[in-house]
Amino acid sequence: MPKFLVLYKWTLDEQDIKIKSDDLSLDASRAKGKISDFDRNAIEEAARIVEAKGGSVDVLTYGSAAVKQSLKDVLSRGADKAYWIADASAETADAVVTAKVLAAAIRKIGPYDVILTGEGSSDQFNQQTAPRVAALLGLPCLSLVHKLDVEAGTVSVTRKLAVCTEQATVSGPVVVSVLSDINKPRIPGLKQVLGAAKKPNEEIALGSLGVSPADLQPKAVRRSAKGFVMTRKNVVFKDANPADSVAKLVSSLVSEGLF
Amino acid sequence: MTGIFLFSEDPVLAKQLLTPALALKGALDQPITALALDGATAADLAALGADTVLLLQSASGWVEGLGDAVTDLVRAATVVLVGGTQRGKHLAAHVAAKLDAGLTTDAKSLAIEDGKLVTSRILYAGLAVGVEELAFPAVATIPPRSYPTPEAAQTPGSVETVAVTDDIRVTVTGTTPTESSGVDISLANKLVSVGRGFRSKDDLPLAEGLAAKLKGEVSCTRGIAEDEYWLPIERYIGISGQTVKPDLYLAVGLSGQVQHMVGARESKIIVAINSDERAPIFEAADYGIVGDLYAVLPLLTAAITS
Ligand SMILES: Cc1cc2nc3c(=O)[nH]c(=O)nc-3n(C[C@H](O)[C@H](O)[C@H](O)COP(=O)(O)OP(=O)(O)OC[C@H]3O[C@@H](n4cnc5c(N)ncnc54)[C@H](O)[C@@H]3O)c2cc1C
Ligand SMILES: Nc1ncnc2c1ncn2[C@@H]1O[C@H](COP(=O)(O)O)[C@@H](O)[C@H]1O
């Protein structure tokens, strides 16, 4: 029966991040945390397979002290046990650091049959973690999966790329990143939320993973992040009779030289 | 560390990568080595300015499985540029991990400053632009159509054949090419873009009729392509889809979330049609109509004919 590990990231909800008008810096002071959108698909996929065929779903996250807030949420979505690494290094971590920390943790708590990630994280959308973790652990990696089957140690997937769909199989442990269309994640009900409180979670101390201080230094160092502001005309027509709005729009577009 | 390396399995993109590679060559005074999977592309890359082209003899040709082989070939690299297709991004992440190198996904700009590669890219799905500096060796993926193909070089480079090992742990059992509608929305001057405000696939002719009148094409949001399958994947715009810069972007029944708009916000004029006055698309639009698309689109289509 397959042992799944789902890697999930606790990110800021980008909808709550405001751009300061004076210097275009980002104000995340009122931003709430969320499980990175596509990671919910990864958790859901593991949970569905285990509910159908048996097995187990562990989840693992690396983040700042705030990741503790994610535990109830993640455990209500179908995970059996949550591992978490809370360390200030996560605030400056790039994909290099993140993959090293996650790979070291997997060496400690693993092995797993299938390690799942989302297609990309909502904040960074690096699309790097799955291939990097696989490379560091010496495992094969199947990315962008929209159909996943696990049968007696063989993992069969359909990958969806812009140019084609592709069927591939791997026997033995594998890292898989999933697309959002692989399933529709459940909305946890009261029962799941209450049940989550009884499920186990375990902190992994970063110091116990044998990751050196040098390994926690990012190779890609953020120099600045500035809000993108779009200046648009923002002319809105809302006449009771839509034909009036349409006429105004058409004459605006004519004066723009569009036709 | 010496050398600028580039790779894309997409021949057009591979040639485009030579443009930033040649700029880096100017800044670093290091030779360019291009990796190619077929002889024709290898010859083109040599003619267009690669000093050396390594023609990889991969039995499977499965790009994602070439991570270890490519790592061995680019070990000396200062900078590695990889074409930002989905396969390319997967390969680049594997190579970067093996080189213990930073990797900028979808780099919008590249510069060398103080012995570092300085890149810019999108963060928070388009809300912000981040600038990061990468120690050497540094890897970056470059989206298609970011750069033109360079002019032919004065002295062509040489081509060498190299045997490489595939990742035999993965068996690709079947490939079905995506049915292409033959439409490249990135080339369209005018786009009518469809969102979840459309209630059914049967309603798409409303958008198609308008697009035809405008001599434009129909594009869409991710959900319309990925979840509903109403339009091909190549038609959706956004951070995980296409980037377009038409003269007119007419957003119909789409909310204008940042993940979508990041792919359309360089359009010259943006027009929104949405029944919800508070939809974020109106902030991103030059002109908007608050109204039911089912009423507005037929009127607009008719008004344009006359
Ligand atoms: C990591 C990540 C990456 C993503 N990448 C992309 C991407 O690349 N591209 C992309 O598009 N999305 C992407 N998304 C999804 C994105 O966040 C939005 O959810 C999506 O763009 C919304 O699609 P929509 O506007 O079609 O639907 P909705 O947000 O549901 O909007 C539908 C709109 O239609 C309006 N409407 C309804 N009925 C009518 C009517 N009768 N007449 C007029 N208006 C009507 C509604 O008011 C509403 O504003 C991504 C999300 C994540 C988390
Ligand atoms: N800090 C993290 N902790 C756990 N999982 C992560 C972390 N960062 C990224 N991931 C996983 O890797 C996926 C891709 O992230 P990224 O490479 O940042 O786009 C995410 O969808 C998560 O599944």
Contacts of B123 in chain A (CB under 8 A): 123-124, 225
Q: Over chain B, what is the mean pLDDT?
A: 96
Residues B61, B170: contact at Cβ < 8 Å? no
Residues B78, A183: contact at Cβ < 8 Å? no
Q: Over chain A, what is the mean pLDDT?
A: 96
Return the amino acid letter for B243: T
Residues A221, B133: contact at Cβ < 8 Å? yes
Beta bridge partners of B162: B56
Residues B295, A239: contact at Cβ < 8 Å? no
Which residue, chain included where needed, has tokens 């979808």?
Answer: B106
Radius of gyration of chain B (CA): 22
Q: What is the mean pLDDT of residues B5-13?
A: 98
Q: What is the DSSP letter of B134?
A: E
Residue nearest to atom 12 of ligand 2 (CA): A129
Range from A220-229, B17-26, B172-181 that averages highest in pLDDT: B17-26
Least CB-CB distance to B296: which of A12, A232, A242?
Answer: A242
Residues B211, B230: contact at Cβ < 8 Å? no
d(C-alpha A212, C-alpha A199), whole Å:
32
Global ipTM: 0.94
CA distances from B267 to A136, A194, B270, B274 (A): 41, 48, 6, 18
Residues 6+ apart with CB under 8 A from A127: A119, A120, A143, A177, B89, B90, B93, B105
Residue nearest to atom 8 of ligand 1 (CA): B238
Q: Checking phi first, is residue A201 left (phi over 0); if not, alpha (psi -120 to 50) or beta? A: beta
Taking one residue from A and the other from B, the number of pairs with CB-CB distance under 8 angstroms is 244
d(C-alpha B231, C-alpha A34), whole Å:
30
Q: What are phi and psi of A208, to 5 degrees?
A: -85, 0
Give me the half-sphere count of Cα atoms (radius 13 Å) on the Cβ side of residue A188.
Answer: 20
Q: B306 is written with which tokens?
A: 């006359």
d(C-alpha A77, C-alpha A8), whole Å:
12
pLDDT at A250: 96
For the entire predicted model, the pTM comes to: 0.93
Q: What is the DSSP letter of B145?
A: T
d(C-alpha B287, C-alpha A234), whole Å:
6
Say yes or no for a CB contact (<8 Å) between B167 and A169.
Answer: no
Question: How many angstroms separate the CA of residue B157 from the nearest CA in chain A?
Answer: 30
d(C-alpha B88, C-alpha B105), whole Å:
10
Label each residue of B191-224 as H, E or C: EEEECCCCCCHHHHHHHHHHHHHHCCEEEECHHH
Residues A160-204 pLDDT 10s: 998 899 999 999 899 999 999 999 999 999 999 999 999 999 999
Residues B213-257 pLDDT 10s: 999 999 999 999 998 999 998 999 999 899 999 999 999 999 999
Compute, in angstroms, the gap from residue B253 CA to the centroid of ligand 1: 8
Q: What are phi and psi of B244, to 5 degrees?
A: -130, 155
Return the amino acid letter for A95: A
Q: What is the DSSP letter of B236?
A: B
Question: Of B151, B237, B257, which Cα lies nearest the Cα of B194?
Answer: B237
Least CB-CB distance to A168: which of B92, B130, B172?
Answer: B172
Question: How many angstroms separate the CA of residue B156 from the nearest CA in chain A?
Answer: 31
Torsion, Cα A178 A122 B89 A227, to 10 degrees, reads 170
Q: What are phi and psi of B176, to 5 degrees?
A: -115, 110
Question: Cα angle vertex A117, ends A114, A120, to 5°?
Answer: 155
Residues A46, A174: contact at Cβ < 8 Å? no
Helices (H) and strands (E) in chain A, counts: 6, 15
Helix, coil or strand: residue B255 = coil
d(C-alpha B134, C-alpha B115), whole Å:
9
The CB of A128 under 6 Å from ligand 2? The reply is: yes
Residues B95-130 pLDDT 10s: 999 999 999 999 999 999 999 999 999 998 889 999
Instruction: Using a pLDDT cut of 90, give the percent of chain B over it.
Output: 92
Question: Of B48, B51, B43, B39, which Cα lies nearest the Cα of B5?
Answer: B51
Residues B167, B226: contact at Cβ < 8 Å? no
Q: From first to last of its 259 residues, what are the pLDDT tens digits of chain A?
A: 999 999 999 999 998 999 998 999 999 999 999 999 999 999 999 999 999 999 999 999 999 999 999 999 999 999 999 999 999 999 999 999 999 999 999 999 999 999 999 999 999 999 999 999 999 999 999 999 999 999 988 999 999 998 899 999 999 899 999 999 999 999 999 999 999 999 999 999 999 999 999 999 999 999 999 999 888 999 999 999 999 999 999 999 999 999 8
Contacts of A231 in chain B (CB under 8 A): none
Torsion, Cα B261 B262 B265 B270, to 10 degrees, reads -10
Burial class (CB in 10 A: 0-12, 13-18, 19+), B215: exposed
If contacts are CB pairs under 8 Å, which of residues 231-250 in chain B contact chain A?
A: 233-234, 239-240, 247-248
Q: Checking phi first, is residue A14 left (phi over 0); if not, alpha (psi -120 to 50) or beta? A: alpha
The CB of A89 under 6 Å from ligand 2? The reply is: no
Question: How many angstroms separate the CA of residue A234 from the nearest CA in chain B?
Answer: 5
pLDDT at B1: 59
**Res. B305: pLDDT tops 80:** no
CA distances from B64 to A167, B117, B151 (A): 14, 25, 30
Residues A117-131 pLDDT 10s: 999 999 999 999 999
Torsion, Cα A136 A7 B86 A121, to 10 degrees, reads -120
d(C-alpha B290, C-alpha B272), whole Å:
8
